[in-house]
């Protein structure tokens, strides 16, 4: 078993009682210190963290598991010395962009703000609905003309209870960005569609810059106030 697998195994063991005690916390912290994860490994560990939680959570233990997630997540982020002002870039065709998007959706604990021209990849939509059903606030701004595209998932998201607002101008709302827990910004040419993943030459940039997050959050909030509900 390698160092990364050691950490994942310790994380998996610590959820047995839905509680992260001091002994488990110390073991995971020491294992992470030995692993010394960079940004990509840190992101992978966080993705595994949420997969483990997904297999464990139920209506009875939901709050306990959320607290456990937050505890482990803080340990992982603290161990990643590259976390501050870190950027990652992904390209399509291929699953790089898709997997990065799904990982950050799964990793979100409090809030996801999405401002996209269109969403039609049901793998992403299903992940958003799952987070919404688990109490994470999901807000979506999109272009009104794209509602009628074949395969559009906007109505599905709205029907699931996710708050959606649409551009009501003669021009397009052509933004492509998302904010995760008010700290991680995702932007780039990549639309959240299967065509973008399978065929198109697209890109996304993900950054934890606080300044970037503030600017994108300001733009999102302005549009949210300006546009009507679907």
Which helix or strand (DSSP H or E) is residue 215 part of? helix 210-226
Catalytic one of 104, 106, 131, 176? 176
Q: Which strands, in side-by-side order, build the sheet including 184-187?
A: 87-92, 202-207, 184-187, 176-180, 111-116, 137-142, 163-166
Helices (H) and strands (E) in the chain, counts: 9, 7
Using a 10 angstrom Cβ sphere, with 0-12 exposed, 13-18 middle and 19 or more buried, the burial of residue 182 is: middle
Distance CA 172, CA 167 (A): 7
> Sign of dihedral through CA atoms 71, 161, 61, 104?
negative
Catalytic one of 51, 181, 182, 217? 181
Catalytic one of 33, 54, 174, 211? 174
**165 within 8 A of 227, measured Cβ to Cβ:** yes
Question: Does 174 qualify as catalytic in the annotation?
Answer: yes
Question: Does 21 qualify as catalytic in the annotation?
Answer: no
Distance CA 169, CA 181 (A): 29
Rounded to a whole number of angstroms, the distance between the first and last alpha carbons of the chain is 50
Question: Does 181 qualify as catalytic in the annotation?
Answer: yes
Just list the catalytic residues.
174, 176, 181
């Amino acid at each position: 078993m390698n160092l990364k697998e050691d950490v994942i195994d310790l994380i998996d063991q610590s959820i047995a009682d839905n509680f992260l005690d001091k002994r488990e916390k110390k073991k995971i912290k020491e294992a992470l210190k030995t692993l010394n994860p960079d940004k990509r490994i840190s992101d992978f560990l966080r993705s595994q963290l949420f997969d483990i939680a997904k297999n464990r959570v139920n209506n009875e233990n939901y709050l306990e598991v959320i607290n456990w997630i937050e505890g482990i997540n803080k340990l992982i982020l603290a161990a990643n010395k590259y976390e501050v002002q870190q950027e990652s870039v992904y390209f399509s065709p291929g699953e790089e962009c898709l997997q990065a998007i799904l990982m950050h959706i799964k990793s979100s604990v409090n809030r996801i703000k999405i401002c996209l021209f269109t969403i039609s990849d049901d793998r992403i939509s299903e992940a958003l609905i799952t987070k919404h059903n688990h109490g994470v606030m999901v807000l979506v701004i999109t272009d009104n003309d794209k509602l009628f595209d074949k395969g559009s998932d906007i109505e599905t998201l709205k029907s699931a209870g996710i708050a959606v607002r649409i551009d009501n101008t003669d021009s397009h709302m052509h933004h492509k960005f998302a904010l995760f827990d008010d700290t991680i910004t995702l932007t780039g040419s990549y639309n959240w569609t299967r065509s973008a993943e399978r065929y198109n030459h697209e890109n996304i940039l993900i950054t934890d810059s606080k300044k970037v997050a503030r600017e994108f959050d300001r733009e999102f909030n302005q549009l949210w106030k300006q546009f009507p509900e679907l």
